[in-house]
Structure 1
C-alpha cells in the first residue's frame, strides 16, 4: 500500500472482498473522513474524472488543495439549483436490454471488473453519498453526469447501500448485510426506472443474483455492454 496525505494506492487487488476489507481498515485510520476508491480501469477513470471536473457547476479554480476541491464539489452537489431529482432521471439507456444483461454479468462476476490497482481518496464530507465529490465522473454525452450519479447514489442509500467506488464505467455500492429477496425486487424496480427495458427477462435474473449479496455494481456510461464484451 502506497500512501500520501489524501490517498492510498492499493496494488495487486484481486477481489472485492479484499478491497472492502482494506477500505474498512483505512476508514478506521482516517475517521471521521470518508473514503471513495476507483474500480474498473483506473487510468480511464481518472482521465474522464478530470474532464468531468471541468463541468462549470463543479469546476474548482482555487489553489491546488485536494481537500478544498472536494469540499467545493460537495457543496455544489448539495446546491438545490444543481440537484437532480430521482424522478427526472432518464428511463431508457442506449443499450436497452443489452444494458440489463450486462448488469447481470457484472454483478454475477464482480471481481472480473476490478482493476488490480485501486486508488483510494479521502473525502472530509458529512455523508456517505457525498464521497463522489472526490472522484466526480460522467463525462461523455450519454453518460450519467456527476449530479445524476449523485441522485442514483442517494436512491441506492434508501435500499441500505453505501457508495464506495467509481470506475471508468461502474459505480460501486455495499451494504452491511446481504439483500433479502423482497429487497432485491425493490432494487430491481428502481433499476428498471433507470435503465428501461422493463420487459427484459434479465431483470428476474438480476434479482436472483442480488438476493443475499452485499455488493452492487451499476453502469453509468453509455458503453456498458462493451465492457462485458471485451
Structure 2
C-alpha cells in the first residue's frame, strides 16, 4: 500500500487541510489500521476517508459546497487569510488555502443548527429489497466497494461527525443533504458509539470500538428503518451483520447502484 501527501492535480477539490492519497490497499482491516493511526497522531482533529466512486463523490461535494454557499466569504474576517487567496487585493472568489477552511467550517455549522435525525428521516429516502441485499454485501466485503484510490483527510474539527464539514456531500434533491448526513452521523455516534470514518458518492461508513448488544442492535435497526421509511421486519436482515461487525455502511442516496 502506498500513502503519500495529496497533490493538487490528484483531486478536483482544493486542498484546505492535510490530505493523503492511498493506493493499493489490500484489505479493509489494513485500511482501518491506517485510519486509526492517523486519528491517533492527530488527537485534536478528525480523520475521514473517501469511499465509493471518488470522482463522483468529489463532483457532488463540489456542487454541495456551491449550492449551499459553503464557500461564501461574506461576513468573515479575511485579515489572516493567506495572500495566495487574493489577486490585486480582491479575494479570488473560492476557497483555495488552508487558512480559509474556517470559512467552510463556520458556514457549514450554521446550517446544522436546526437539523436533527428526525429531519433527516423526513427527506423520504426509501430502500428496495435489492438495495438492502447490496448493503449486506457492502458490509460483508467493504473493500470490494471502495474505490481503488482513496483520499484520507485530516480535518481540523473535534468530532468524527464534524468531519463532514471537510467533505460535505449530498447534492441531489432526492438524497440526504450534507446537514442531514451530519445529523445521521451525530445520531449514530451519540446513541451507539459509531464514529463516521468515511463518505463516498453513495455510502457513509462508520466504525465502533465495541460490538452492539442485542438491545442496541435492535434499536439501530429501528432507526435505520425510520431513516428509509421501511418496514422494521425488512431491516432485520441486517441484524446479524450489525451484531457481528464493528463497522457499518449505509446509503445516503436515493439509489444504490454498484
**TM-score of the pair, normalised by structure 1:** 0.87
> Is residue 198 from structure 1 mapped to residue 210 from structure 2 by the alignment?
no
Q: How does 1:104-183 map to 2 (within 5 A)?
A: 104-157=136-189, 158-183=191-216
Compute the displacement of 1:15 (Å): 2.7
- Alpha-carbon contact 1:67-1:124 (below 8 Å) kept: no
Query: Which has the bigger relative contact order, CA under 8 A and spacing at least 6?
Result: 1
User: In the TM superposition, what is the alpha-carbon distance from 1:121 to its structure 2 partner?
Assistant: 1.0
Instruction: Give, in angstroms, the shift of residue 81 of structure 1.
Output: 7.1
Query: Shift of residue 22 of structure 1?
Result: 0.6
Structure 2 CA distance for aligned equivalents of residues 83 and 209 of structure 1: 32
The answer as to whether partners of 2:52 and 2:147 remain within 8 angstroms in 1 is yes
Which structure: larger Rg? 2
SS in 1 for 2:169: coil
> What is the Cα-based RMSD across aligned positions, in Å?
2.2
Secondary structure of the residue that 2:34 maps to in structure 1? Answer: helix
Contact 2:139-2:241 within 8 A present in 1 as well? yes
Aligned residue among 10, 13, 17 for 2:29: 17
**1:33 and 2:66 are equivalent in the alignment:** no
Any idea what SS the aligned residue of 2:215 has?
helix
Separation (CA, whole Å) in 2 of partners of 1:175 and 1:81: 24
Q: 1:186 aligns with which of 213, 219, 231?
A: 219
TM-score by length of 2: 0.79
> In 2 relative to 1, CA 141–14 (structure 1 residues): closer, same or farther, beyond 3 Å?
farther
Structure 1 position 80, deviation (Å): 6.2
- Cα distance in 1 for partners of 2:126, 2:112 equals 27
Q: Distance in 2 between matches of 1:60 and 1:31?
A: 29
Could you give the per-residue CA deviations for residues 31-71 of structure 1, whole angstroms, max 9, x where no partner exists?
A: 322211101111111111111111234234473223532x3
User: In structure 2, do the counterparts of structure 1 residues 35 and 132 end up closer, same or farther at CA, with 3 Å as the change threshold?
Assistant: same
Q: 2:117 is matched with which residue: 86, 108, 131?
A: 86
Change (3 A) 1:81 1:118: closer
What is the distance in 2 between the residues matched to 1:167 and 1:175? 19
